């Protein structure tokens, strides 16, 4: 019997065909975000799920879907998945590292530049029809990116790719803080110098967040951290909502504690904190860091290869390319 898979988002037609070559597929043509109960209902009888960050895969769901064998997340981050609960039940979890690194780094850099140079704010001004005079010293005068100090919190693959852009492309001084320090070789390749978190906050002109979400990184940037930053500094978050305390950030933007912020991720997204919508000095985008055609295709294709290897029979079965909990494969 062919395995059944739930795809929680409709993917590119040719890739959906590849999925259908191997599985009976149920997908979500409307892209609606399902409630936990609806997700459990749709997962009944399915052996695999092609999930996104919007679906919470937890112990309660796994217990309600005991036939589930593989949770294949379209994304490098998998904080939406309770990996320990999956491992305990022999459910394989996979993600999509590497294929999105450069695209997400491009976006982090673009959002940081849009924030520093006040691009969104000035575009809103123009669209409102308010460009009736040209004050060259006070109209949307931002801060420079080239030659400034770039601070990076979280120095995984994407952090290192952003560091390279800053150091090599824009002549920036790059400092970073991370749970563990990079090797001397990786530091020199990224052009970045390790500092403690207090120094990072104090010295960064543009602080970019690229760390994974975990209970330890919850509100890693809150009122106390924002107060340590320069009043001219910008903050860019392309990592996960919840790493920044959004209410505290809105307050810091209102009161001039920092100059501006660029946010691609939010606590409780797709809902956005109303205070953030009300401040002008913030660029808000709907979690599109990896959203290039090439990269979203590569992410979907890698997820499908993970599913085929995890659930395929005979010659199709193999080692999934990017397992998060490979210990499950050893148990099988």
Burial class (CB in 10 A: 0-12, 13-18, 19+), 32: exposed
State which residue has the least CB distance to ligand 8YV: 75
- Which is the catalytic residue, given 240, 267, 273, 296? 240
Known active-site residue 177? no
Q: Closest distance between ligand 8YV and the C-beta of residue 320, in Å?
A: 17
How many Å apart are CA 208 and CA 159, to the nearest integer?
Answer: 8
Known active-site residue 102? no
Buried b (16+ CB within 10 A) or exposed e, 300-312: bbbbbbbbbbbbb
Q: Closest distance between ligand 8YV and the C-beta of residue 241, in Å?
A: 10
Query: Which residues neighbour 89 within 8 Å (Cβ) at sequence distance 6 or greater?
Result: 62, 66
- Shorter beta-carbon distance to ligand 8YV: residue 78 or 176: 78
How many Å apart are CA 200 and CA 33, to the nearest integer?
Answer: 37
Binding residues for ligand 8YV, rule: CB under 6 A, are 52-53, 74-77, 100, 287, 289-290
- Shorter beta-carbon distance to ligand 8YV: residue 9 or 177: 9
- Which is the catalytic residue, given 187, 269, 273, 296? 269
Q: Closest distance between ligand 8YV and the C-beta of residue 199, in Å?
A: 28
Known active-site residue 240? yes
Residue 42: in which H helix or E strand, if any? helix 36-43
Q: Tell me the three state secondary structure of residue 194.
A: strand
Q: Closest distance between ligand 8YV and the C-beta of residue 74, in Å?
A: 4
- Shorter beta-carbon distance to ligand 8YV: residue 75 or 142: 75
- Which is the catalytic residue, given 121, 287, 296, 305? 287
List active site positions.
240, 269, 287
């Amino acid at each position: 019997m062919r395995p059944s898979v739930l795809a929680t988002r409709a993917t590119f037609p040719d890739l959906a065909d590849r999925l259908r070559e191997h599985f009976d597929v149920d997908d979500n043509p409307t892209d609606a975000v399902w409630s936990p109960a609806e997700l459990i209902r749709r997962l009944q009888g399915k052996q695999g799920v092609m999930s996104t960050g919007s679906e919470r895969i937890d112990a309660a769901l796994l217990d309600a879907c005991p036939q589930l064998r593989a949770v294949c997340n379209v994304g490098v981050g998998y904080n939406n998945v309770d990996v320990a609960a999956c491992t305990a039940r022999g459910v394989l979890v996979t993600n999509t590292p590497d294929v999105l690194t450069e695209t997400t780094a491009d976006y982090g850099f673009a959002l940081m530049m849009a924030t520093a140079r006040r691009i969104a704010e000035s575009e809103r001004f123009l669209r409102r029809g308010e460009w009736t005079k040209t004050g060259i010293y006070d109209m949307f005068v931002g801060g420079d990116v080239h030659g400034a100090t770039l601070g990076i919190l979280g120095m995984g693959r994407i952090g290192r790719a952003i560091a390279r852009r800053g150091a090599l492309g824009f002549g920036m001084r790059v400092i970073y803080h991370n749970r563990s320090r990079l090797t001397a070789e990786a530091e020199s390749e990224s052009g970045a110098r390790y500092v403690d978190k207090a120094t990072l906050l104090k010295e960064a002109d543009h602080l970019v967040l690229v760390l994974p979400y975990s209970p330890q990184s919850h509100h890693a940037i809150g009122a106390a951290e924002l107060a340590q930053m320069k009043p001219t500094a910008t903050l860019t978050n392309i990592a996960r909502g919840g790493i920044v305390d959004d209410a505290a950030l809105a307050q810091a933007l209102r009161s001039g504690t920092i100059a501006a912020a660029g946010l691609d991720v939010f606590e409780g997204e797709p809902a956005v904190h109303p205070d953030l919508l009300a401040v002008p000095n913030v660029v808000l985008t709907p979690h599109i860091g990896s959203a290039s055609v090439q990269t979203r295709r590569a992410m979907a294709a890698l997820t499908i290869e993970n599913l085929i290897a995890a659930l395929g029979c005979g010659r199709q079965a193999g080692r999934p390319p990017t397992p998060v909990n490979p210990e499950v494969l050893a148990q099988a």
